[in-house]
Amino acid sequence: MATPLRFRRSDERWTAGRVRSDLYAALEANIGATMDSPWYRQPEGYDARRFDMDNGDVALFAWDDDRGYWMGNTETPRALWETEKYTFAEVAAPIAPWAERELLAQLHEEAPWLEAYPHISTFFLPVLLSKDGRHTTRTFFHEHAAGFPHASREAGLSYYEEFLATDPFDDRYVMAAKLGTAKQLDLTRMSAAMSEFTVAKLLIDAGYDITPEIDVTTGHAIDFRADSDGTGLLVEVTRPLAPSDRSAGSAARSIRETVETKTSGQLQRHGGGVTLFVDCSSFDDGEWERLLAEKPSVGHKPAVVFRVRPGESTVAYTIGSAPVDLPDAVDVW
């Protein structure tokens, strides 16, 4: 499976003739391609070319006297096989912003409905235009409201668009890559990935500074550290399937069985000190109301069990003495 988009940097000398012979000729021979000038002005101090493949793939190459940068969702020409890979954040201007502008234009030409969501487009560009995952990730946003089964596409995407507009993460690659680049749509896994964005929003709205993917001594990574006033709190996120989508048969059993996979694994080995957020946004009104009426334990303390309805409300109940504050807008039962 291909990974999210990253640059390849070649520290060899490149000329227009070599670009034509080593890159364009290889692409044309293998999959069919055209080579042209980029859509936008090439980065200052660099020459640049754009490659459009017959199968719909696209690639960019920019070079100066010292090195060349390749970015694309197509096969990598042999001349670049031994090069190192870098994210957008790891490649300085003028290369990164130029490539981003080119690729965003490509994305919006292929999926014009995404133009209404510029922050989603930019943040998730490495997966929305990836080689293997571009179709499944677009389907997830367009047809599944970014994991909110009981919300409209506009409501679901606006929820994350407004959050990403606050520039909540120092490096988008770690979080964007969680959505994955698989050719087959995995709605359960992708919805669970977006639950981490939902919890990140709740933590930031509550006044925390957050850091994703915290390595701990057990060899695992905890989803977030939430920092406030010199205190850091560890937070893990899980998302149960709706009872109607699994054999659990009840809302309480659904969340307990899902949490068990966490408590019998990384949380058990960590030995405490982690607040578990259980995202029940897939539950319909009846399932959620029954859960609220019972407020069952989930097999881990402390825990926050919650459901988000974009454009409407966020409701939660807590188990144990949860050290993590919730935003004032959350209705805590």
Q: Residue 274: phi, psi to the nearest 5?
A: -120, 130
Residue 293: the pLDDT is 94
56/27 Cα distance (integer angstroms): 13
The arrangement of strands across the sheet holding 47-53 comes to 33-36, 47-53, 58-63, 68-72, 7-10, 84-86
Residue 1: the pLDDT is 53
This prediction has a pTM of 0.94
Q: Which residues pair with 146 in a beta bridge?
A: none
Residue 270: the pLDDT is 56
Q: Which residues contact 50 (CB under 8 A, 6 or more apart)?
A: 35, 36, 37, 38, 39, 58, 59, 60, 102
Provide block-wise average pLDDT over 10 residues at a time, the chain (333 residues). Answer: 89 98 98 98 97 97 97 97 96 96 98 98 98 96 97 98 96 93 95 98 97 83 93 94 72 85 67 88 94 92 96 95 95 95
Closest C-alpha to 87, from 117, 126, 48: 126
Report how far Cα 68 is from the mean position of its chain's Cα atoms: 28
